[in-house]
Amino acid sequence: MKPRDLALTVGLMAVWGFNFVVIETGLDHFPPLLFNALRFTLAAFPAVFFVGRPQVPWRWIVAVGLILGVTKFSLLFGGMAAGMPAGLSSLVLQSQAVFTMVFAVLLLRERPRPVQIAGLLVAAAGVALVATRMGAGLGAFLLIVGAAAAWGLSNIATRKASPPDTLRFMVWASAVASGPLIVLSLLVDGPSADLAALRAFDLEALAALLYVALISTLAGFAVWGRLLQTYGASTVAPFSMLVPFFGLASAAIFLGERITAVEVTGAVLVVGGILLGLVKLRAPRLVRVEA
């Protein structure tokens, strides 16, 4: 990887890690479903009129829009609004890699290698370790785990779709998610809560909304798609393990969240387990010795 692209990749992971701090800030201004609805509406419009027609079947756009946009992010925002710390949310959400492998086995009939199973167990142990310190916040923790499961399922749908243009695909998926999220917000958050949030709209709320919609979603996936096309998933994907470290660090710096030894150990287990699952063991080369 070229030094410029390496810096770009690490910078993108920092943007996505800091995104959890921004979400926490946005949730101080909006009910979770309204925040999610505004995020995907802004990400989709007016971009949908400029990116061109979808390049994949509509069933995959609808599937990803509903699973990723509506389900995953609603659970994530709901869990954080219920009290799950931003830094820990960035860590627990990485268990999506575990769910991705499980769904790949169940739905795609893939056969995991022994090292992948070992990595799954290590990562699951890390998530379980983090769960031990949640106490009364276990419900919020489980919402984040649910978000990770939804993300894993959306990864399978995205893999089946194989979009040639990641940005275009995300814009259309965002457009699909927008309508259902607006309806859900009116039903769950309530019209009065939504209206009160919109009336209290200020510069901090605007900054949070612009960051999650335009920087984290549109710009982020545009860069991610270009990196994947240039270097391939096997080279780029492991860098996503930097997200929880940036998430934990930025939450500690900007939100004053305390990082405990349990969280550090859990982070090492989660990230280490996922990276272990990415290892490809090669058979040793046989060196021929002439007699």
Within a domain: residue 291? no
Within a domain: residue 154? yes
Within a domain: residue 290? no
Contacts of 282 (CB under 8 A, 6+ apart): none
CA distances from 190 to 31, 184, 193 (A): 9, 9, 5
Choose among 229, 91, 82, 67: nearest CA to 157. Answer: 67
- Alpha-carbon span 117 to 249, nearest angstrom: 29
Q: Which domain holds residue 169?
A: 3-275
Please, are residues 34 and 189 in contact by the beta-carbon 8 Å criterion? Answer: yes
Within a domain: residue 284? no
Within a domain: residue 285? no
Within a domain: residue 50? yes
Within a domain: residue 288? no
- Alpha-carbon span 243 to 10, nearest angstrom: 9
Within a domain: residue 63? yes
Q: Is 289 exposed, middle or buried (0-12, 13-18, 19+ CB in 10 A)?
A: exposed
- Alpha-carbon span 64 to 217, nearest angstrom: 14
- Alpha-carbon span 94 to 129, nearest angstrom: 14
Give, to the nearest 10 degrees, the angle between helix 32-44 and helix 73-81: 140
- Alpha-carbon span 197 to 225, nearest angstrom: 34
- 0.85 surpassed by pTM: yes
Rounded to the nearest 5°, which phi and psi values hold at 288? -80, 130
Tens-place pLDDT, residues 230-258: 887 667 777 888 888 899 999 999 999 98
Count other Cβ atoms within 10 Å, centred on residue 235.
13
Q: Provide the strand spans (E) within the chain.
A: none
Helix/strand number for the chain, H first, E second: 15, 0
Tens-place pLDDT, residues 85-109: 999 999 889 888 888 888 988 898 8
- Number of compact structural domains in the chain: 1
Per-residue pLDDT tens digits of the chain, which is 291 residues long: 788 988 999 999 999 999 999 999 999 999 999 999 999 999 999 899 999 998 999 999 999 999 999 999 999 999 999 999 999 999 889 888 888 888 988 898 888 888 888 888 888 888 888 887 776 588 999 999 999 999 999 989 998 998 988 899 999 999 999 999 999 999 999 999 999 999 999 999 999 999 999 999 999 988 988 888 888 766 777 788 888 889 999 999 999 998 888 888 888 888 888 777 766 544 444 444 443
Please, are residues 31 and 185 in contact by the beta-carbon 8 Å criterion? Answer: yes
